[in-house]
């Protein structure tokens, strides 16, 4: 079995502290983006419980930039979950666990928007895009970082 030195222990703790700080920053940013009232939009927004309905609406827009911002923004909004969950919680290194928890959090955020925030509505497509962002980030970075921080003990020969 290979032992790690004190330097690797320090690096691991610095990464964990950075992950915790980034989680706080992300939580504040998420709240500011999703839970800010838009009173002028009260009559314009409607809840969407039909998977794909908003996506079709985004993609049918003649302004490609607006559609890209809406779709890309929702994907990017979920991406930090895919990286931060396996860094902060070793049991969430699996793709399924990180994706499921992200979906649950995003359903909660969308429900809060729809129920509590004026000019906002629940949108199942936002949940889908946020979760997709977390899944992609987890596959690209989160698993690797989680594995590097929390190596599983190897079986003895």
The pLDDT of residue 114 is 81
| Residue 154: CB atoms within 10 Å | 8
Matching residue, tokens 């928890």: 101
Domain boundaries, the chain: 6-149
The pLDDT of residue 42 is 58
Is 27:88 a contact under the CB 8 Å cutoff?
A: no
Matching residue, tokens 């809840």: 47
> pLDDT tens digits, residue range 3-52?
566 666 677 778 777 877 877 787 777 777 766 666 655 555 778 888 88
Is 122:111 a contact under the CB 8 Å cutoff?
A: yes
SS3 of 38-91: CHHHCCCCCCECCCCHHHHHHHHCCCHHHHHHHHHHHHHHHHHHHHHHHHHCHH
Q: Indicate whether this model's pTM tops 0.85.
A: no
The confidence band for 153, taking pLDDT boundaries of 50, 70 and 90, is: low
> pLDDT tens digits, residue range 56-115?
887 777 777 877 888 888 898 889 888 888 888 887 778 898 899 999 989 998 888 888
């Amino acid at each position: 079995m290979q032992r790690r030195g004190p330097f690797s222990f320090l690096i691991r703790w610095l990464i964990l502290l950075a992950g915790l700080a980034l989680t706080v920053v992300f939580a504040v940013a998420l709240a500011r983006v999703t839970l800010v009232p838009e009173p002028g939009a009260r009559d314009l927004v409607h809840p969407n419980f039909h998977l794909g309905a908003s996506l079709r609406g985004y993609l049918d827009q003649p302004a490609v930039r607006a559609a890209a911002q809406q779709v890309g923004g929702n994907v990017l909004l979920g991406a930090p979950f895919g990286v931060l969950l396996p860094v902060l919680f070793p049991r969430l290194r699996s793709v399924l666990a990180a994706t499921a928890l992200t979906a649950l959090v995003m359903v909660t955020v969308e429900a809060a928007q729809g129920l509590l925030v004026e000019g906002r509505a629940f949108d199942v497509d936002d949940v889908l895009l946020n979760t997709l962002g977390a899944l992609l980030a987890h596959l690209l970075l989160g698993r690797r970082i989680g594995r590097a921080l929390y190596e599983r003990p190897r079986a003895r020969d």
